[in-house]
Structure 1
Amino acid sequence: MQVLFISFTLAAILVYLWYASLLKKRTSAIEALKVIDSKIDKRLTLFTELCQEKPSYPRPLTDDQQAQLELLKQLQPEHDWEQPIEESNMAGGSLSVSIAAWQQIDQGLEALLATVNKDKLSADQLAEYIQLELDFVHAEDFYRKAVDELNSGVKIFPGSAVAKFARIAPMPIFDQVQD
């Protein structure tokens, strides 16, 4: 009887520890998403400021580039994802849509920056923009690692049972989202 009680207690402790581990990994991924959201917003705003007309630099963007920037600005509201994460994380949920929009905005901004004449842009703002771009990449890498750990923990036993009970689902990785 005592062995059964000890076994049950140890199993309960292991399940709780697994649960706490899954929650910590999911929280890390959510924090990375918040940073990614913030960095992409700041990059889009700063790029718009960088490319505003100035007396020293009239018409910094061609009509084509301006149209691309406007397209990216229209994508911005699409990347807002709702909480709680459980509902927005389902297949085709707002988290997948947000990640796809972030990817499109990131790639679009990279392409636009490559085509803009950087010589006439503010050096300080350009340096800040490049730093934001690096911060975005680092946050994306952190998110990818956190989600890899979370998804591994959710897929193996006893994590699969604990995750099902606690409503913790695997989260999408940037590379897995379809454009």
Structure 2
Amino acid sequence: MQALLLSLTLATILAYLWYASLLKKRTSAIEALKVIDSRIDMRLTLFTELCQARPSYHPLTDDQQAQLQQLKQLQPQHDWGQPIEASNVTGGSLSVSIAAWQQIDQGLEALLATVNKDKLSEDKLAEYLQLELDFVHAEDFYRKAVDELNSGVKIFPGAAVAKLARIAPMPIFDQVHD
């Protein structure tokens, strides 16, 4: 009887520790998403300012202006205001947000590669490049946190604990396709 009670106590402690670990990993991933969201917004705004800093010089062609407008139209798609439990389902708003972030990031990289950087403000360009680097670091941090979370959710006893706690695997940037 004591062995059974001891076993149940140990199982409960293990389940709680696993739950706390999963919760910490999910919280880390959510914090990384917040950084990614703010950095992509700041990059889009700063890129627009960067290209309009000198009125006499317009670095963007009409085609590039159209591409920038398309990226700005994607901006509302990456806002996921739902709780993570509701948005983290297949095809949920988190997947849509990640896809929009990827499109904006790739579009901004492509536009910056085609702009003549010699006539742009050096300070704003340096700030933009720092935001781009911050985005990449936050994306890497998110990917690592999600890999750990998804591994913890898929193996025993994490699968049982995650199901009870309603903690689901989260999508990573590489898994989301346009």
| TM-score normalised by structure 1 residue count | 0.98
Q: Determine if contact 1:96/1:172 at 8 Å carries over to the other structure.
A: yes
Show CA shifts across 1:43-89 (max 9, x none): 000000000162442x2210000000000000000000123101100
Amino acid across the alignment from 2:139: E
Which residue pairs with 2:63 in the alignment? 64
- In 1, the alpha carbon distance for the partners of 2:82 and 2:114 equals 37
Show CA shifts across 1:101-149 (max 9, x none): 0000000000000000100000000000000000000000000000000
Which residue pairs with 1:178 in the alignment? 177
Show CA shifts across 1:137-177 (max 9, x none): 00000000000000000000000000000000000000000
Amino acid across the alignment from 2:36: I
Amino acid across the alignment from 2:14: L
Amino acid across the alignment from 1:38: S
Q: How many residues align?
A: 178
| TM-score normalised by structure 2 residue count | 0.98
Is 2:120 aligned against 1:141? no
RMSD over aligned CA atoms reads: 0.8
Q: Determine if contact 2:53/2:121 at 8 Å carries over to the other structure.
A: no
Q: Determine if contact 2:53/2:120 at 8 Å carries over to the other structure.
A: no
Q: Report 1:80-159 matches (<5 A).
A: 80-159=79-158
Q: Determine if contact 1:32/1:140 at 8 Å carries over to the other structure.
A: yes
Which residue pairs with 2:4 in the alignment? 4
Which residue pairs with 2:28 in the alignment? 28
Q: Determine if contact 1:53/1:60 at 8 Å carries over to the other structure.
A: no
- In 1, the alpha carbon distance for the partners of 2:33 and 2:55 equals 38
- In 1, the alpha carbon distance for the partners of 2:55 and 2:148 equals 51
Matched-pair identity in %? 87
Secondary structure at 2:170's aligned position in 1? coil
- In 2, the alpha carbon distance for the partners of 1:86 and 1:55 equals 47
Amino acid across the alignment from 1:10: L
Secondary structure at 2:171's aligned position in 1? coil
Which residue pairs with 2:13 in the alignment? 13
Any stretches of 5+ residues in structure 2 without a counterpart? none
- In 1, the alpha carbon distance for the partners of 2:118 and 2:56 equals 11
